[in-house]
Amino acid sequence: MDARSIIAGLRAGRTPSAAELGWFAAGLANGEVSDAQAGAFAMAVCLRGLGAPGRVALTRAMRDSGDVLEWDLPGPVLDKHSTGGIGDCISLLLAPALAACGAYVPMISGRGLGHTGGTLDKLEAIPGFRTAMGEDQLRAQITDVRCAIVAASARMAPADRRLYAIRDVTGTVESIDLITASILSKKLAAGLEGLVLDVKVGSGAFMKTMAEAQALGKALVGTAQGAGCMTTALITDMSQPLATAAGNALEVIEVMETLTGTSVNAALWDLTAALGGEALALGGLAADAADGAARIEMALESGAAAEIFARMVAAQGGPADFVERWPDRLPSAPVMREVPAPRTGYVISIDGAALGHAVVHLGGGRLREGDRVNPSVGLSDLAGIGEEVSRDLPLAMVHAATEAEADAAVRAVQAAYGFGDAEPEEPPLIHERIA
């Protein structure tokens, strides 16, 4: 086999065989496939598509291009993946809640991408928290604590790491075939028995329309199941931030308030229960999704999820007393500024991507690869759709490193909100289930 013939066949409309895709993925991992050939392959897939069987074959090939974990545990190995949004800190609640319900959760997570925040960046706002972990360490922590939230090792799905970087500079990021293989190759390399997907739709998501979200959700579910992992997906709303905060330490604060019951965010609670319920049902730990959701809620209410979270933080290098002392342990920004509403009325729309970019420009994300993230900056107390505002009721609070950055963020937040005189309907949290 050779890259040239595989690319030529794709260009002519012929889907490569599983063996050819396996060879190509191995070539991406070991360097036999050049950057030019990888770019040509990505463009051919973007233009011609692979179809459902080709998506499954590419996903399996990229998964198998590196280490694939196998587990021998007394309970199911489960995980969740979100396609990304603003204020989406569900993973920090869901991983310990699933573990408290009897699952084992080796959650392979990522960093911020574009305007969306990253789970690893949020956790690294906790002093000392380590997201890099070797396989032996991961196995020991999963056996002991039942959950870990870590970065993918260099040996997991190396074909995806190479192809993703090339897609980013060749204008082929939007291909559903390549998105699907990229997401699932890393997740399935963790040896999962069940996976629940949170496919975001709306202004703060990568998928802006329901048609786009449905197409991606169906591709992800069909491909994951075709690759041997039981999977369901929920299409969830991202027309406004999920939490009332956007920014790494600020989102951890909201997670801790919900975990400890000091100030529960209903949207975070409800979506954690819904996603967790699906996962527990897939893993045979609940009769159905509704039963699973009730079990997740009990894990949150009883403090069992908070206890697991504390053990996970300590095991990954964070403070042993984090759950008890989190207000003292998280960094805070030196400049805080209220965002005045420009008029009286109701919030009728929010540009979530604009809010995400505001956080990035505050230093809470990366404008360039390698940028250092400031964990303390961001936005809190964000007004939601349907909320009544006036000049006396701020839209949000800016947390910034400098006065100039605070000024710019105030203007960006004001521009991201739309206002009206009539109270709008609040969008549903969950739009659709795909199984």
Identify the active-site residue in 60, 81, 200, 295. Answer: 81
Q: Catalytic annotation on 79? A: yes
Write the CATH number of the domain with boundaries 335-420.
3.90.1170.30
Q: Is 122 a catalytic residue?
A: no
Which of 3.40.1030.10, 3.20.20.70, 3.30.300.30, 2.40.50.100 is the CATH number of 78-325?
Answer: 3.40.1030.10
Look at residue 116 in the predicted model and tell me its pLDDT: 74
Q: Determine whether 182 is an active site residue.
A: yes
Active site residue 200: no
55, 63, 80, 311: the active-site residue: 80
Least Cα distance to 220 among 210, 207, 233, 202 occurs for 233
CA distances from 3 to 23, 26, 54, 172, 299 (A): 9, 11, 16, 18, 51
Per-residue confidence (pLDDT) for residue 12, from 0 to 100? 92
pLDDT reported for residue 113: 65
- Whether 263 sits among the annotated catalytic residues: the reply is no
**pLDDT tens track, the chain, 435 positions:** 889 999 999 999 999 999 999 999 999 999 999 999 999 999 999 999 999 999 999 999 999 999 999 999 999 999 999 998 999 999 999 999 999 999 999 999 887 666 777 899 999 999 999 999 999 999 999 999 999 999 988 899 999 989 988 886 787 877 899 999 999 999 999 999 999 999 999 998 888 999 999 999 999 999 999 999 999 999 999 999 999 999 999 999 999 999 999 999 999 999 999 999 999 999 999 999 999 999 999 999 999 999 999 999 999 999 999 999 999 999 999 999 999 999 999 999 999 999 999 999 999 988 776 778 899 999 999 999 999 998 888 899 999 999 999 999 999 999 999 999 999 999 999 999 999
**Domain limits, the chain:** 3-49, 78-325, 335-420
187 is catalytic: yes
Which residues pair with residue 419 across a beta bridge?
Answer: 347
82 is catalytic: yes
Catalytic residue among 65, 91, 109, 119: 119
For residues 308 and 320, the answer to whether their CB atoms sit within 8 Å is no
User: Choosing from 64, 79, 121, 160, which is the catalytic residue?
Assistant: 79
Give the model's pLDDT for residue 369.
64
CA distances from 237 to 6, 29, 244, 382 (A): 39, 36, 14, 16
Backbone φ and ψ of 245, nearest 5°: -130, 150
**The one-letter amino acid at 273:** A
Of the residues 115, 122, 187, 399, which is catalytic?
187
